[in-house]
A and B are shown apart, each in its own frame.
Chain A
Amino acid sequence: MEDVKQKPKPEDVCPGKKLDRAAVEEQLSRTSGPEYWRSLEELAGSSEFREMMHREFPKGASEWLDSVSRRGFLQLMGASLAMAGMTGCTRLPLEEIVPYVRQPEQVIPGRPMFYATAFTLGGYAQPLLVESHLGRPTKIEGNPLHPASLGATDLFAQASILAMYDPDRAQSVTHLGDMASWSEFAKQLRGPLVVQKALQGAGIRILTQTVSSPTFKDQMQSFLAMYPQAKWHVYEPVNRDNVLEGAKLAFGQPVETRYDFSQAAVILSLDADFMAAGSPGNVRYIRDFAAKRNPDADMSRLYVIESTPSPTGAKADHRLPVRASEVEGFSRSLASALGGSAAASANPGTAKFLAAVAADLAKHKGASLVIAGDHQPPAVHAIAHAMNAALGNVGKTVFYTDPVDANPVNQTESLRELVSDMRAGKVDLLVIVGGNPVYDAPADLGFEDALNNPKVAVRVYHGLYQNETAHLCHWNLNSTHYLEEWSDARAYDGTVSLVQPLIAPLYGGHSAHELISALMGSDATGYDIVRSYWQKQHTGADFEAFWRKTLNDGFVAGTAYAPKQLSAKAVAIPAAAAPDSAALEVNLRRDPSIYDGQFSNNGWLQELPKPMSKLTWDNAIQIGPKMADREGLQSMDVVTLELDGRKVTGPVWIQAGHPDHSVTVHLGYGRTRAGRAGTGAGFDAYPLRTTGALWIALGGKLTKTGDHYVLASTQGFQTMDIGDGETRPAVRQATLAEYRKEPRFAKEDEPPAELTLYPGFDYKKSPDAWGMTIDLNKCVGCNSCIVACQSENNIPVVGKDQTQRGRHMHWLRVDAYYQGDRDDPSAYFQPVPCQQCENAPCELVCPVGATVHSSEGLNDMVYNRCIGTRYCSNNCPYKVRRFNFLLFQDWETPQYKIMRNPDVTVRSRGVMEKCTYCVQRISEHRIDAETAAVRENRPFHVADGSIQTACQQSCPANAIEFGNINDAGSKVAKLKSLDRNYGLLADLNTRPRTTYLAEIRNPNPELET
């Protein structure tokens, strides 16, 4: 008894507890933001700390066996508390970030603040405003001041907030799998760097993704100056090598091509899905394109020659489905037709198409635009450049500028060089900054073998996740998310956006800037690095004002690249041999939802229905209907796809409009170390990808395995023809000529307004009556609204199994319908949120009054009251109601708790939910307007345009308008008075508040048969 009663000695309680307070403070003064208290000692770099970490409890804590040792416990508690409080006694360095509109002193709990920052994908920045509730970023919006955004975003930017809070992120520095610290890393790397210093850095290789950050470029230049023999390699699986090589072919130098769709009357896309999320400038391009689709003004015409069906093709007035490998031939014929010679094609229909396109383009010289797809070979790009030059579009709709990419090298070659250096033992220290080449490098390079090789003595991985690549590196450095770091990046037009942190790093990570800085022996913080770079750029005395304004606006004014005066060189573009028309073409494309795989652990994106197929959680081998018939394949049959002896196995999906003798596979799936959402979803198609054929390969072979694999699609029918000969006119459309002849064509079926014996509530008497219009002519099906809605309204992710059972929770869905020939259909998109019917069928049948109407015409859900009979959903003709069949919401993960929008209820199991028209935003602005009105003693009125629903705000096309329909001057009321305005299922007399503007296509009369 006596021995256990011994009082533990202080050293036992906390071994090596001679923590140098001064050292801690000194370290702390160099870090940013409040860190978890336990990292204090990590910072102090005490290795004893790690022992303590691994013990879980300090020595002595586990020896609390009887009453006497309780004193030991109290001492322990005291010590922990003192340590926990240490942050309180330490003065943290000042790093100012500037709110967008409101001054910091106006921080009001419950009122969000907005900070400008930028999200970067593929090197291109998307300028953002991020909503922050008391220091927690909760919602991403576009930066309305910035020309690349104008207030909208694409879906990747919208979803990036979930990545920041992802509990599967790398949460600490590890060395050989053991927990380590940043300072330890810096210390341990000093040795190798000293060795390399002597060799001028000959053994150092830095592999980054596409970078456009001027600061990073500057840092790399310093680094390369310090280690002249070191090399900077760049690789990203979704790279723009073809664009670059095409520019080199045409101009002899790498240039960036920028387009102005607002000036283009005739647009020709050569397999370019320029509206796809993630493609450079897509947000602005969609905005400009959509604005030119007004049938009451000058409406543009879009021709698309494309392989894999895409939203761009769906919006085309004329779409020509061809195999990707044949696009080059078509481009050549077209170019020669433009030059005057007859369009040559074996197929008379195609020849007619080409002739008509050429004529139309020629008719609109200077107001036309030819754009080539990133995956098309350089020759197609060069041809497009030549055509634009011939059409006089350069300087009018097409502009050439310096490349946005800070290091515009051929990335495939760059990676090949790195691999051969690694094989040759020339690489001693490899630092991989982001990316995942082990997973996504071209298969023929053998990157994994070259990396996982003792010749590469020190391998450092810096990234958000401990992914496949990180797993093979000695050091894993947890990176900061862009919402946690200082940086900068260029948008598609070259304008530099500043990236400022919204929150202190959740897991104490370090940014890439800090990493490069550390490699140069400095421990400067990201803030210092970025600020000092800009101090060098802006040397005036007004730097502080400049800095504040830049942070406030989110971008450095006047940094857009000026257009260059270039003319395409008239060099003969080497023609490729015509592709074998019977050989099976394999198209590898980045995924519309999870990109190259970097977003595969993002549940919002995994569950986001892909624009054309509405598939979730999986990729598929897409084939055309003709091929399916010929090969006897059904959707969800499992096949083996073989290409030059390399095989992948996956399910088939029959995609209407997909060309014959061609398959498309989306990359990014089949991850093995992605995290809870991404690991195991889909199959990996990268094994088919080689340096010679990154995007398009010929000679594939499809073999049926006889297995069956269930794919989760969220849409029941993808056609409005339901089989009985009837067409349900969900999307109403006409050609421009038809519309001019019969402008009110969409109005059929509408019953008289007052067809009732019982007069309803008179909404005209309400000060506000909310309504929405969705312009189908503008909507390009980009899905940005779905993710925005999910983020704004705390919508849960349900997983593949539940999605496949028809239980996905999106409040807003985008229906995609095909009409006509399955091999070459017209396609339409229709976003469907709650229609907020004035005669709501759901309200009548709820036994507990959980869904009721407000005086402003909103169909409100009272979650607390709902008992979950689902009668309302049965009776909803639009099927926009969503039910929590199980406990779908994650109530446990702490990260998600702080991510959610505090203005929106988090729903529980057994409760019905649906689109509310973002009632929280309506209330916020109503309260604001009322407060202001009371203060000024005047009747209050919510200004038109002050309320934006989340979907509306994120919409790049400006397709969604929301406002007060009682106010005849409001935008939405004006749109509702248009002839094209119609209500979905208005014949049921539901009197929906959400109405649609019918779609108008502008076909070329010459091609109308």
Chain B
Amino acid sequence: MADHLKQSAVVERAPVIEPGHSFATVTDKISSIVLTRPTTNGWIFGFAVSFLATMMMLFALGVLFLKGVGIWGINIPIGWGFAIVNFVWWIGIGHAGTLISAILLLLRQSWRNSINRFAEAMTLFAVACAGVFPGVHTGRPWLDYWMFPYPNTMNYWPQFRSPLIWDVFAVSTYFTVSLLFWFIGLIPDFGTLRDRAHNKYAQMIYGLLSMGWRGSARHWARYEMAYLLLAGLATPLVLSVHTVVSFDFAVGIVPGWHTTIFPPYFVAGAIYSGFAMVLMLAIPIRKIYNLEDFITDRHLQNSAKVMLATGWIVAYGYAIEAFTGWYGGNRYDAGLLYNRLHGPYAFWYYMLLLCNIGIPQLLWFRKMRTHPVFLFLISFVILVGMWLERFVIIVISLTRDFVPSSFGMYYPTKWDWMTYIGTIGMFLTAMFLFVRILPMISIFEIRQLLPEAKVEGKH
């Protein structure tokens, strides 16, 4: 009886997977996207545009290496501009994947199974995009390797008190663990693709990638254990990466940076933007590849709820920043608040409030949460808002810090924009390749969601 009631409740909330699927249909549906679906003109066009944008980024970086970071809009006092804004923005986006895969796995949120694969891929690509910036934003990028502690004859060792060194470790660890987690999750599906591929080369490549996966019970047992362990390992990283990134600012003494609230506020913001990006990808993908059966309204709803929750944490952060600026009695914090509200960049601060706090309140309405088009637009607004948040924190704080004579303005140049848009191109290029050659939804995990998989219930 209870089962029956529970079932109906779930149905009412929209199912995680639409009824009528079996192991075979799931496998067919997902693997066919990679193996049998012809490459459409739409894909080619999208890929070409993204690839061109990537090339534009490489061109901009080439000029950067030839001439120096002076081609950007940074100056004294604004030593960090678009590069660091974009870095933090991308890193933030890269939070959703691991959160969905690891934390929701540990919390046994099985709905995650339909979106974790491409969320993880999205994470990797976002972190890769983020990784472009710290490497190239230095004045002498050919010496970036000095940030790593390695034995050398120069009597040289990194300065471990600097948050930038912590960044190096946090981001590289996060990338490595995310990559491993993603790859291990892919192994059973590689096996499936290997078995179903007709093309000899595809068989060979998928065969290599599947690392001898045969699907035996022992394999599964080991696999489950490894996956769980990695999930345990990745979970603290979700929290630590953006915490460390926020230290870049919190450790500094610049008003607007020097805030203890940054770690939780940055992590929440990261998840906020990460889910926005997941939705921005999931909504068109499920439409184009007819995956509404697997990525259902339930997923959209849940993601929207996560956004609503994290959005409020972010809003709390803004409120506390403003409150301490007003209440703290520190003339520099008060000056920062004044500058945000009335300074030359005030418009962007109000835009930030609108994008991150105002518009997302529409998510309180169920209609909005389940309407793909609105959800897509709101996600876009949130991504813009989160970019503005980093701009407000990093750039606006630097424009007016302590000594009035050194107040300045920041104007991005075309090279800033080319690099930024270029990384979006790079991200999309990778996404296009991903949906074309890898199963974008985890086949075996979806199969776990089917009633057929619930064998133990029968006993």
Contacts and interface: CB of A to CB of B under 8 A. Distances in A.
B401 A877 contact: yes
Given A867-B146, A878-B406, A988-B253, A844 B76 contact: no
Contacts of B177: none
Interface stretch (B113-121, B133-141, B183-191, B440-448): B133-141
B251 interface: yes
Contacts, number: 181
A874 B408 CA distance: 12
B416 to A, nearest CB: 13
B402 A878 contact: yes
B401 A879 contact: yes
Contacts of B69: 868, 885, 910
B264 interface: no
A716 B406 contact: yes
A883 interface: yes
Secondary structure type dominating chain B contacts: loop
B143 A867 contact: yes
Given A724-B335, A911-B140, A985-B403, A802 B163 contact: no
B254 A869 contact: no
A588 B159 CA distance: 55
A730 B342 contact: no
B398 interface: yes
B76 A881 contact: yes
Interface in B159-178: 159, 161-165, 168
Interface string A836-856: 000001001111110000000
B405 A875 contact: no
Nearest to B399: A716
B361 interface: no
Interface in A797-851: 802, 805-807, 813, 815, 817, 830, 832, 841, 844-849
Interface string B49-74: 00000000000000000011111011
A805 B75 contact: yes
A582 interface: no
A780 to B, nearest CB: 17
B284 interface: no
B403 A845 contact: no
Give the size category of A's interface with B: 35 or more
Interface in A879-936: 879, 881-887, 909-912
A887 B68 contact: yes
Contacts of B68: 884-887, 909-910
A866 interface: yes
Interface in A694-731: 715-720, 722-724, 726, 728, 730
Contact of A869 (B67, B138, B252): B138
Given A848-B147, A865-B146, A879-B401, A909 B406 contact: no
Give the size category of B's interface with A: 35 or more
B77 A879 contact: yes
Contacts of B80: 870-871, 874
Contacts of B161: 844-845
Given A867-B143, A879-B77, A883-B139, A984 B404 contact: no
A873 interface: yes
A830 B70 CA distance: 28
Nearest to A872: B79
A911 B77 contact: no
B77 to A, nearest CB: 5
Nearest to A845: B162
Contact of A717 (B70, B76, B79, B405): B405
A447 B175 CA distance: 74
B405 A730 contact: yes
Contacts of A717: 404-405, 407
B144 interface: yes
Nearest to A875: B252
B156 A882 contact: no
B162 A815 contact: no
Nearest to A726: B331
Contact of A874 (B71, B337, B338, B398): B398
B160 to A, nearest CB: 9
A10 B105 CA distance: 94
Contacts of B141: 867, 910
B405 A716 contact: yes
Interface string B332-370: 001101110011000000000000000000000000000
Nearest to A869: B138
A143 B331 CA distance: 46
B374 interface: no
A845 B138 contact: no
A649 to B, nearest CB: 26
B158 interface: yes
Contacts of B168: 847
Interchain residue pairs A-B with the least CB separation, the first 6: A868-B139, A910-B139, A885-B70, A716-B407, A806-B75, A870-B79
Interface of B: 67-71, 73-80, 137-141, 143-144, 146-147, 156-159, 161-165, 168, 248, 251-254, 331, 334-335, 337-339, 342-343, 398, 400-409
Given A806-B75, A817-B405, A869-B138, 16 more contacts: A719-B404, A722-B339, A726-B335, A728-B404, A832-B403, A832-B405, A844-B161, A845-B164, A865-B146, A867-B146, A871-B164, A874-B254, A877-B403, A878-B406, A879-B406, A887-B67
21 contacts: A716-B77, A722-B400, A723-B343, A730-B405, A802-B70, A815-B403, A815-B405, A832-B405, A841-B252, A845-B162, A848-B147, A848-B159, A867-B138, A867-B140, A867-B147, A869-B164, A874-B80, A874-B252, A874-B398, A875-B253, A885-B68
